[in-house]
Structure 1
Amino acid sequence: MKKNIDQLKMKRETKFEFTEILEDILVEGAIVPEVHVDYLLELVEGEVIIRGEYTALAKTSCVRCLEEIEVKVSGEFFGDYKESKDYDEYIESLGKEAQVSDDMVEELVDGEVDISSLVRDYIILDMPQFPACEPECDGLEELEKYRNSGIDSRWQKLLDLKN
């Protein structure tokens, strides 16, 4: 979902509130069919500031038993965008040895802000790294034979050399 900033400027307001449902956000290893987003978009002297909250159910697999599970992901997001001319000046002001920080500014592309892309980045960061269906999930039965089974026979010759 993209918001055209030029159209919003014509309304002669500086703050806009939106509630939307973003569909089919693609995240590696998970499917996020629907994201509920509430956000505020502010226009401040050639700069666009977006802040809001999102809630989604991501469909992914348990890392232990590989069963499909749904994980609730929610959080806040923030975006700061400048128009091309202001963005170029901003980049030049950073210098050659600029560090990436939390307050980085993005460039407006064709006068639009891509809300889906911004929210997707935050979903990726807020997704659990190792989602499990339940904390005590034992995993696949196939893995049980490797648990506490001693030394793998493939390593035995190396151990014999050591001794």
Structure 2
Amino acid sequence: MTKAALDPAAPLVFDTAELGRSSGTTMHIERGVPAPDAFGLASVYAVPASSNVDLDLDLTAVSEGVLVDGEVEAVAEGECARCLAPVQDTLRVQVQELYAYEGSVTEATTDADEIMRLDGDLLDLEPAVRDALVLAMPVTPLCRPDCPGLCAECGVPWDELPDDHVHETVDPRWAGLDKLRLADSDGESK
């Protein structure tokens, strides 16, 4: 199976040709790029597609490849898991990933899934950025830590309901007696 060629115009694909292969050479990247796809679960909590992802990275040539090290920042949006209110958080994550040169010694000593590889001089940062951002997302996003959620009976957020809000529930086993009580209060004869 052949792998698809990288698109050099993709927002998270970088050309390392000017970096060279001399160990210790560093290239700094500081820019905002559009997120290629929604990072996360789009319907629950995610960095929306085409929203800005800020990169502050150092690419360093090492003997086996290119080491990417730095910080990524993006805004994630979704809904509170308790009350369904909109939630928006800024995620700042560290990214550190080694991209091995084609034919490097790492190819013989690691599994294909364990290490990222350069495609010629192109480096695809999207999987590393996606993984770092998704792992930083909360499993249960909340609008605030003490969010009371929704009323189980009417579905209205507790924050919008009065303090004395209750729903009277009648146990079906007592429903017959409740009818008698109501009939008596209406002045009907027994």
TM-score by length of 2: 0.62
Deviation track 1:5-57 (CA, whole Å, cap 9, x = no partner) reads: 224329xx811111111212522321342221111000123510010012221
Q: Is residue 39–residue 47 contact of structure 2 (8 Å, CA) maintained in 1?
A: yes
Q: Which amino acid aligns with 1:93?
A: T
Take 2:35 and 2:109, find their aligned partners in 1: how far apart are those partners? 38
Matched with 1:127 is 137
1:92 aligned to 2:133?
no
**Is 1:57 matched with 2:67?**
no
Query: How many pairs align?
Result: 137
2:64, 2:106 within 8 Å by CA — same for their partners in 1?
Answer: no
Matched AA of 2:39? V
Which residue number in structure 2 is paired with residue 3 of structure 1? 14
Aligned to 2:86: 68
Secondary structure, counterpart of 2:103 in structure 1? helix
Which ranges of structure 1 fall in alignment gaps of 5 or more residues?
146-152, 154-163
2:97 maps to 79
- Cα distance in 2 for partners of 1:137, 1:78 equals 35
Superposed counterparts of 1:28-67, under 5 Å: 28-29=40-41, 30-32=46-48, 33-67=51-85
1:106 — aligned with what? 116
Of structures 1 and 2, the larger Rg is shown by 2
State how far apart, in whole Å, the 1-side matches of 2:33 and 2:85 are: 26
Residue 144 (structure 1) shift? 5.0
Report the Cα distance in structure 1 between the residues aligned to 2:109 and 2:127, rounded to whole angstroms: 26
Residues of 2 paired with 1:130 and 1:117: CA distance?
A: 23
Q: In structure 1, what residue type is equivalent to 2:143?
A: C
Extract unaligned runs of 5+ from structure 2: 1-11, 155-171, 173-190
In the alignment, is the contact (CA less than 8 A) between 2:33 and 2:54 conserved in 1?
yes
Coordinate RMSD, CA, aligned: 2.8
For residues 150 and 39 of structure 2, the distance between their equivalents in structure 1, rounded to whole angstroms, comes to 25
Runs of 4+ in 1 over 4 A off after TM superposition: none
Kindly tell me: are residues 82 and 64 of structure 1, through their superposed partners in 2, closer, same or farther at Cα, counting changes over 3 Å? same
Look up the equivalent residue of 1:21 and give its one-letter code. G
Structure 2 letter corresponding to 1:107: R
Does the 8 Å CA contact 2:98/2:116 hold for their aligned counterparts?
yes
Higher normalized helix content (fraction of residues): 1
Higher relative contact order (CA 8 A, sep 6+): 1
Residues 22 and 116 in structure 1, CA contact (< 8 A), matched pair in contact too: no
Task: Give the direction of change, closer, same or farther, for the CA distance of 1:70–1:132 in structure 2 (3 Å limit).
Answer: same
Instruction: Give 1 or 2: higher strand fraction.
Output: 1
d(CA) in 2 for partners of 1:112 and 1:92?
21
